[in-house]
Amino acid sequence: MGARVAPPVTAGASGPRRALATFWATAANRRVLLLVVLLPLFGQTFHYMKDLKPLWALSKAFPILSLPLALPVLTRLRLPLVLTWLFVFVWLVLVSSFIGIFTFDQNFLAGLTAQVKLLPMLYAFSFLGLLLIVRPTARELTCVFFVWAALTFAAVVLLWAFAPQSWYVSSIAYGDAPLLSTDDRGNRIRMPMYFGMIALFAFHRQFLKRGDWRFGVLVAATLAVLVGIIRTRSVVLASVATLATVTFVAAPPRWRAVAVLGIALAALVLLQVPYVRSAFNTSSASGFDVRQVTADKAIAFLGDRPLRWLFGVGTITSLDPGGLAKFFNHYFFLGDISWLGVVFEFGLIGAGLFVLLLARTWLFARTIRRSFDTASLGGLQDYVLFTAIQSPLYSTMTLQPGEIALIAASFVYLAIVLRDAGVDGARVGRTTGA
């Protein structure tokens, strides 16, 4: 079969039309554009943004809609990480749904609906399948992450600068998370920062590697957005802790002491910000008492039954209008108690499986980066570390598992590219476009 030739652009075509046709005629541009369109859905950007109902609904359905993309994965043998993700997904969904039959007097199918939040774990397969179909280079793949990081920061700054005060919601129903809200922290923008955090960690890697002050400015500017506009305590604290950890491990010896000192000073400054400091506040004003009651009731429900602690008690179907509050006479949101909530629902075995996914994904990313390394890939790996550090305050692995699944799929795809190319580490960067 002959090579595919792009259709010619006629001389009479208008300027924008001609530019668009020229752009689309390049295979690399087509690959990048397709990934730009789909990446935020795989990254769960709109998964909790009820303000944008069409995109929110599409995001909820996307794990199932995108599942046919996983078919190319089935033709590949001995793929790293894939079997681990598949085993963990099947265990968590089936075991928890089965146990919920006895705990909450619901049928098995109803129990399955309670595990909808885990469906984005399937992105480990569907996004990998998409990459195998599109075949982007490593440079193109990481470029798409940065495109969405730039769009995220642009949207945040524009909303902060131009959104009228009337757009900020002051009365928030329990369980809701409006994009724009105002509370004791001031005006907040709850923009999903998945891509922005990856960019932050990549900027930090570049700064450590090159010592270029411009990347230091980008790190500082990104932190300023997180602290001054996003105002999410777990994100701020975990990002600083991640930067400090990576600095200590990855900085050149001559920079290490200075860099760690800088991070320590930044942490001290952050702790002077009232809402950041309130993360350690145990008063009722901080909402700690609600979480404490939830934790006490969860521990009492698990009781002294070893099987409950080991396998969890499942969770009630989301179709039940009363939810868990019906059983506990109290607002009962498992995300508020993080790892205890994971143990409540999936048991110590389930919590261990989540830890296994984080550890295996991080270690596999480190293995790939030993063959060839870029700051962008370092940013992806550091986000896995960030998720682990943040987990005592926010359970990403149960609320947004697609984020880590996306990173796992990206590194597995790079491993496939390297294996298919059959090149050594010195030639990897040229082969993959890194």
Q: Give the residue extent of every domain in the chain.
A: 39-432
Per-residue model confidence (pLDDT) at position 412:
96
pLDDT of 433 above 50: no
Task: Identify whether the C-beta of residue 163 lies closer than 8 Å to the C-beta of residue 337.
Answer: no
Q: What share of the chain is helix, strand, coil (3-state, %, to 5)?
A: 70, 0, 25
Q: What is the mean pLDDT of residues 38-52?
A: 93
Q: Is 6 left (phi over 0), alpha (psi -120 to 50) or beta?
A: beta
Q: What is the mean pLDDT of residues 7-14?
A: 45
* % pLDDT > 90, the chain: 51
Closest to 97 measured CA to CA, from 120, 83, 116: 116
404 or 283: which carries more pLDDT confidence? 404
What is the C-alpha separation between 413 and 411, in angstroms, rounded? 5
pLDDT of 271 above 50: yes
- Assigned token pair, 165: 């005060």
pLDDT of 22 above 60: no
Burial bucket for residue 317 (CB in 10 Å: 0-12, 13-18, 19+): buried
pLDDT of 261 above 90: no
The number of beta carbons lying within 10 Å of the beta carbon of residue 330 is 13
pLDDT of 229 above 80: yes
Task: Identify whether the C-beta of residue 377 lies closer than 8 Å to the C-beta of residue 369.
Answer: yes
Q: What is the mean pLDDT of residues 141-156?
A: 96
Range with the poorest average pLDDT among 35-39, 86-90, 285-289, 422-426: 422-426
The number of beta carbons lying within 10 Å of the beta carbon of residue 249 is 10
Going by pLDDT thresholds of 50, 70 and 90, the confidence category of residue 280 is low
Q: What are phi and psi of 181, to 5 degrees?
A: -145, 165
258 or 94: which carries more pLDDT confidence? 94
pLDDT of 419 above 60: yes
User: What is the reported pTM?
Assistant: 0.89
Provide DSSP, 189-235.
Answer: E----HHHHHHHHHHHHHHHHH--HHHHHHHHHHHHHIIIII--HHH
pLDDT of 417 above 50: yes
279 or 99: which carries more pLDDT confidence? 99
Going by pLDDT thresholds of 50, 70 and 90, the confidence category of residue 324 is low
Q: What is the mean pLDDT of residues 107-131?
A: 91
285 or 45: which carries more pLDDT confidence? 45
Q: What is the mean pLDDT of residues 36-59?
A: 93
> Which residues sit opposite 181 in a β-bridge?
169, 188
Going by pLDDT thresholds of 50, 70 and 90, the confidence category of residue 175 is low
Q: What is the mean pLDDT of residues 338-348?
A: 94
pLDDT of 253 above 90: no
Q: What does pLDDT average to over the chain?
A: 85
